């Protein structure tokens, strides 16, 4: 299944991430997963939340440059080799992974990996046909 990820361009300066997360918290938006990629002058905050469209509207109204990006989240066992299986599946099908991030789940022995790929629909079909568990939300 495909999820909406919010991507926000953030100036690389003290307090910028604090400002964004405070605005989201004040609006009652729960961050489920996030990653930050940075350069010398700016960063990109990418996150999954319980209300991505609401988060996007809030950030844009606050002057932030933000967008929604479709990503595929896979639930897997938190053990050696689980990620390698999914990446091998993608490699064999010539699916290019643009970026990914992972985190352990609150459920014992489980983890999630979020993938940004060129064609999320095809990647989802591939994953599900191989028995992988894709998720629509991170509750």
pLDDT tens-digit map of 5-36 = 999 999 988 999 999 999 999 999 999 999 99
State which fold the 71-135 domain adopts.
Alpha-Beta Plaits (3.30.70)
C-alpha to C-alpha distance for 129 and 132, rounded to whole angstroms: 7
Task: Check for a shared fold between 2-69 and 71-135.
Answer: no
- Cα dist. 139→60, 85, 109 in Å? 25, 24, 16
pLDDT digits (tens, 9 = 90+) for 90-138: 999 999 999 999 988 777 888 999 999 999 999 999 999 999 999 888 7
Q: What is the pLDDT of residue 138?
A: 74
Q: Which CATH number applies to 2-69? A: 3.30.2130.10
- What would the pLDDT profile of 29-78 be if each residue is shown by its tens digit? 999 999 999 887 889 999 999 999 999 999 999 999 999 999 999 999 99
Q: Is the pTM of this model over 0.85?
A: yes
């Amino acid at each position: 299944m495909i999820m909406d990820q919010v991507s926000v361009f953030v100036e690389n300066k003290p307090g910028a991430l604090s400002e964004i997360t405070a605005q989201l918290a004040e609006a009652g938006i729960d961050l489920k997963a996030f990653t930050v990629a940075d350069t010398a002058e700016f960063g990109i905050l990418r996150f999954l939340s319980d209300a991505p469209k609401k988060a996007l509207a809030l950030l844009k109204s606050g002057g932030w440059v933000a967008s929604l990006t479709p990503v595929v989240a896979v639930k897997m066992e938190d053990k050696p080799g689980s990620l390698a299986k999914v990446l091998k599946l993608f490699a064999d099908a010539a699916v290019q992974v643009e970026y990914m991030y992972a985190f352990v789940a609150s459920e014992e022995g489980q983890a999630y990996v979020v993938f940004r790929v060129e064609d999320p629909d095809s990647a989802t079909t591939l994953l599900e046909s191989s028995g992988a568990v894709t998720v629509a939300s991170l509750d």
